[in-house]
Amino acid sequence: MSHTSYGGQAVIEGVMMRGKKNMAVAVRRTPEEIVLKTEGVSSLMDRFRVLKLPLIRGFVALVESLVTGIKTLTFSANQVVEGECAGEKISPLEMGLSVAFALVAGTGLFFLLPVGMAHLLEAYVSGHFWQNLLEGLFRILIFLLYVVAISVMKDIQRVFQYHGAEHKTIHAYEAGKELNVENVRPFSTLHPRCGTSFLLFVMVISILVFSLTGETNLQTRFLSRVLLLPVVAGVSYEFLKFTGKYQHLALVRFFSIPGLWLQKLTTREPDDSQIEVAICALQKVLEAEEGHKFTGQELCPAVRFIMEEDSFSDREVNQQC
């Protein structure tokens, strides 16, 4: 088995898996069809060595992950639309604008709102240390309430099931198991390298980073929270990599526990058909990265596999039902 760390994300009715040089997405367009698409990936870090430096690489990786996420989400959404013959198409621009709006709203909700809430209580909780701590507690509370709120939505629950399928499949591969539903099913839906754990690290580490700003007025605190986000992301990324690499150490596993607990909200137990999709995505990446041969028919012979040849972002959807 390769030493490459494979990872991925859940998309609409599917899973994206990524290796060092390639990524693949598998989407169940209909119960009888799974669409598979592979594409080479490259990073700015391969072209500019300075971007590989600790802290810097974390922010670069985050931005690149967002770009990849937009492409694969657009692709998966359009596959589902085509499967339903809805006659509509989501363009990369529309998806990009949606993500941009979500980022702006998220910055306001999770970073600026806690500043204002803590400031309102300054008469009761004063001093830089206590204000920063209170702000951090508000940030974590808002984040947890947000995750709980979206986790009850039916459509989001299906995405969380695919999220669980992704984790199970990665666990099975890392354990050296043959990738089939029976082998994948028993594994945990929780994984220490998950982006959910990264987000929790961001919430906690932001308390430490923002404490370095010292005594400031309200306007300066608002500005510093936005400007220091790349620093928070960089530190959180390094911490996530560290905890993922050294899970054999008891202390590291202890620090991973809160993130794993949070994943109980962002993952759900998948059904076999969702596990099949996750396996398909990982198999296609393994085929591209390591030369494994995979047709898919040995996994689910009743399903028709459709290979897409064009890029994720350029695909046109057939609008004729």
Each residue of 38-54: pLDDT tens digit? Answer: 888 888 888 888 888 88
Tokens standing for residue 115: 């500043």
In a domain, 97, yes or no: yes
In a domain, 314, yes or no: no
Share of the chain above pLDDT 70, in %: 88
pLDDT band, very low/low/confident/very high, at 91 (cuts 50, 70, 90): low
From the list 11, 137, 4, 140, the residue with the least C-alpha distance to 70 is 11
As to burial, measured by CB atoms within 10 angstroms (0-12 exposed, 13-18 middle, 19+ buried), residue 180 is middle
Reported as half-sphere exposure (CB side, CA atoms, 13 A), residue 121 has a value of 14
pLDDT band, very low/low/confident/very high, at 303 (cuts 50, 70, 90): confident
State how many domains the chain has.
Answer: 1
pLDDT over threshold 50, residue 210: yes
- DSSP bridge partners of 26: 15, 36
pLDDT band, very low/low/confident/very high, at 271 (cuts 50, 70, 90): very high
In a domain, 321, yes or no: no
End-to-end Cα spacing for the chain: 44
Asked if 95 contacts 34 with a C-beta cutoff of 8 angstroms, the reply is: no
**Mean pLDDT, the chain, integer:** 85
As to burial, measured by CB atoms within 10 angstroms (0-12 exposed, 13-18 middle, 19+ buried), residue 216 is middle
Backbone angles phi, psi at 305, to 5 degrees: -100, 130
In a domain, 315, yes or no: no
pLDDT band, very low/low/confident/very high, at 264 (cuts 50, 70, 90): very high
199 against 300, higher pLDDT: 199
* 102-106, Cβ contacts within 8 angstroms, sequence gap of 24 or more: 103/66
Tokens standing for residue 30: 């209909």
pTM for the complete prediction? 0.85
pLDDT band, very low/low/confident/very high, at 318 (cuts 50, 70, 90): very low
- How far is residue 3 CA from its own chain's centroid? 21
222 against 96, higher pLDDT: 222
From the list 157, 174, 166, the residue with the least C-alpha distance to 248 is 174
Distance CA 172, CA 280 (A): 13
In a domain, 77, yes or no: yes
What would you measure as the largest C-alpha separation in the chain, in angstroms? 67
Average pLDDT over residues 122-140: 91
pLDDT over threshold 50, residue 276: yes
Asked if 313 contacts 74 with a C-beta cutoff of 8 angstroms, the reply is: yes
Reported as half-sphere exposure (CB side, CA atoms, 13 A), residue 130 has a value of 7
In a domain, 1, yes or no: no
H-type helices in the chain, by residue range? 44-47, 56-84, 92-107, 113-120, 128-151, 154-174, 181-184, 195-210, 218-227, 229-245, 250-266, 272-290
Q: Indicate the pairing of strand 304-308 with strand 33-40.
A: parallel
Asked if 17 contacts 23 with a C-beta cutoff of 8 angstroms, the reply is: yes
pLDDT over threshold 90, residue 183: yes
pLDDT over threshold 80, residue 187: yes
Q: How crowded is residue 227: how many other Cβ atoms within 10 Å of its Cβ?
A: 10
Q: Which domain covers residue 250, as residue numbers?
A: 7-308
Most confident of 91-95, 120-124, 164-168: 164-168
In a domain, 2, yes or no: no
33 against 321, higher pLDDT: 33
Average pLDDT over residues 94-98: 75
